[in-house]
Amino acid sequence: MSGPVRVGVAGAGALGYHHIRLLRDLDGAVCAGFYDADPARAARVAGELEVSAYASLDGLLDACDALCIVVPTSAHAAVAQAAIARGKHLLVEKPICVTLEEADGLLAAARAAGVLVQTGHIERFNRALRAAMPYVEHPRFLSSERLAPFNPRGTDVAVVLDLMIHDIDLVATLVGAPVTEVHAVGVPVLTPNVDIANARLGFADGAVATITASRVSRERMRKIRLFQRSGYLSLDLAAGVGEFYRLREDLDPMALAAAAAPPTMEALVEMIPLSAPEGEPLRLELQAFVDAIRGRAPVVVTGEDGRAALATALRIMDAIGAQGLRPGA
């Protein structure tokens, strides 16, 4: 594509609003407008952001080359299929669909139509993760915690599909091997669906990850730790920072053995602060989408990646259900 990509947005809620905001000044793209089923919200967003609000999805599809799907998950498949039928490239927010059957149908239709599908796993663009990737070498154990205070938004689904799916995608990306084993437990606390869950994932290469997600915590936390032969990485996703700890390269075992006192931690281990260029993750995600459409780069988070994360999330839900608890929709 030689000219700017005309990108539309389906859904102008809390997240869709920011898609629209950022698309207004994205390199190689123009915001074609948006569609929202709530006329009052559409009018408000159109006025605040000075963009066109369309009265129908068809009207928006007439005006765009690509579509960001930021509607409730239950509507992802229908909106995506309508856009694919019109030859539009897609960025589909996570989770990609409600069921694997929907995801498979979406991906098959996209392949047949020759359109790109990117999944909105935004943590792939987190500054801490971007800084850590050059140091990741075959991690053996990973521990992830994602805690948030209660918010009624998103509670129509279990926390596994609302929050944990971010970390499911992250650990799978960091390990780089298929999930082969799933154990999980979850508890509904303030809603009919599971509000806090813990999962233990085993991977084909022998790695193990534990993931905890809660939407009923008093504090906010988004941290992940990786342990590998070359050292230990600690990432604070909320702050966008991290550290890599490893044995000092200039370590002299003979000198340590001859020392009169036990060595300090500082004498054994060096800490490397992890840093990457600043960048709003959603802006980077949208830029990656546009760059892929323009042929500048491959899709960073593919539709198949989104399908894999959904498959693992549903296995976790099944494991929770096997505990005798209602896992939620």
Summarised one tens digit per residue, pLDDT across range 315-326 is: 999 999 987 655
Residue 294 within a domain: no
How high is the pLDDT of residue 246? 92
How high is the pLDDT of residue 329? 44
Residue 181 within a domain: yes
> What's the number of domains the chain is made of?
2
50-75, pLDDT tens digit by residue? 999 999 999 999 999 999 999 999 99
* Distance from the first to the final alpha carbon of the chain: 40
Q: Does the CA dihedral 216-217-221-224 come out positive or negative?
A: negative
- Give yes or no: residues 33 and 146 share one domain: no
Residue 21 within a domain: yes
Distance CA 248, CA 246 (A): 6
| Domain membership of residue 10 as a residue range | 5-115
- Give yes or no: residues 151 and 23 share one domain: no
For residue 109, what are the CA distances in angstroms to 10, 79, 94, 259?
19, 13, 19, 68
- Give yes or no: residues 95 and 169 share one domain: no
- Mean pLDDT computed over 33-53: 98
Tokens of 206: 């022998």
Residue 234, pLDDT > 80, answer yes
Question: Which residue would you say has higher pLDDT here, 80 or 254?
Answer: 80
- Give yes or no: residues 259 and 150 share one domain: yes
How high is the pLDDT of residue 260? 63
Average pLDDT, the chain: 94
Contact 123, 170 (CB under 8 A): yes
Residue 285 within a domain: no
Question: Which residue would you say has higher pLDDT here, 173 or 266?
Answer: 173
CATH of the domain at 105: 3.40.50.720
Question: Which residue would you say has higher pLDDT here, 329 or 174?
Answer: 174
CATH of the domain at 230: 3.30.360.10
DSSP H or E segment with residue 314: helix 303-321
- Give yes or no: residues 30 and 163 share one domain: no
- Give yes or no: residues 70 and 45 share one domain: yes
Residue 255, pLDDT > 70, answer no
183-210, pLDDT tens digit by residue? 999 999 999 999 999 999 999 999 999 9
Residue 27, pLDDT > 60, answer yes
Tokens of 300: 């960073």
How high is the pLDDT of residue 259? 67
Residue 284 within a domain: no
Q: What are phi and psi of 252, to 5 degrees?
A: -115, 100
- Give yes or no: residues 128 and 63 share one domain: no
Give the rounded percent of residues in the chain with a pLDDT score beyond 70. 93
Question: Which residue would you say has higher pLDDT here, 268 or 230?
Answer: 230
Residue 306, pLDDT > 70, answer yes
Going by C-alpha positions, the residue among 235, 253, 260, 255 that lies closest to residue 245 is 235
Residue 297 within a domain: no
Looking at the DSSP assignment, which residues form a beta bridge with residue 179? Answer: 203
Give the rounded percent of residues in the chain with a pLDDT score beyond 90. 87
- Give yes or no: residues 131 and 110 share one domain: no
